[in-house]
Amino acid sequence: MTVPAVLAAIRAAEAAAGRAPGSVRLVAVTKGQPLEAIERAVLPYAALQPGGLPLGEGRAQELRDKAAQRPDLEWHFIGPLQLNKVKYLRPVTLVHSLEATRQAETLADAAAGWGRAPAVLLQVHNGEAQKHGIPPHDLRRVYGEVVATGLTVRGLMVMAPEGDPDAARRVFLETAQRAQDLGLPELSMGMSGDYELAIHAGATLVRVGRSLFL
């Protein structure tokens, strides 16, 4: 699917869920894609979404290299956050995948040297052993510790189990409730195979990549 087709599907899912047009923002997942492919498949359509199309990278050094060539773009970090790679996240406006207080401390220390700090989302564990994230019972504690570092927590992120729509729906709804309980406005939920379900559950950011480069 092209960016216009994905945006149309997002608008249709918003309408089906009774949500306002434009309440969900597409994050174009560009990890593993060369800058030339991004400039061909994504950037020509940035004006179709109010505020443009943020680009989601999952590898810190790859993000650093691409952002050095295109510092004019909005970059998000969506991958596992390694402490020794935090230094590469200076161009980032939003980190989707913060899952530990130590990560927040390292990011806050680096940001003090940069003169600006990205906002963050806390990644919630979805129950699958191989996935990253904060166990739900620890979420409120970690949230308080991250806020204490001075970082701005804007919301939550979750990755739903793949191939099981019922489980995905449950994970999305539970995460939306947790964000509401914490008074957090942003929900990064849903990828290429399940973003319509995520929108129905309340997602404000959907991360789509595979569909955009076919």
Q: Give the domain ranges of the chain.
A: 3-213
- 129 has a pLDDT exceeding 90: no
pLDDT category at 162 given cuts 50, 70, 90 is: confident
Per-residue CA distances from 213 to 30, 72, 78, 152, 202 (Å): 9, 22, 18, 32, 26
Instruction: Tell me which architecture the domain covering 3-213 has in CATH.
Output: Alpha-Beta Barrel (3.20)
Q: What is the pLDDT of residues 92-105, one digit of tens each?
A: 999 999 999 999 99
| Burial per residue of 90-108, b for 16 or more beta-carbon CB atoms within 10 angstroms, e otherwise | bbbebbbbbbbbebbbbbb
* pTM of the complete model beyond 0.85: yes
Asked whether the predicted pLDDT for residue 150 surpasses 90, the reply is: yes
Phi, psi of 42 (to 5 degrees): -115, -55
pLDDT digits (tens, 9 = 90+) for 22-78: 999 999 999 999 999 999 999 999 999 999 999 999 999 999 999 999 999 999 999
- pLDDT score at 37: 95
> What percentage of residues in the chain have a pLDDT greater than 70?
100
- Asked whether residue 175 carries a pLDDT value surpassing 90, the answer given is yes
Residue 72: how many other CB atoms lie within 10 Å: 7
How high is the mean pLDDT of the chain? 95
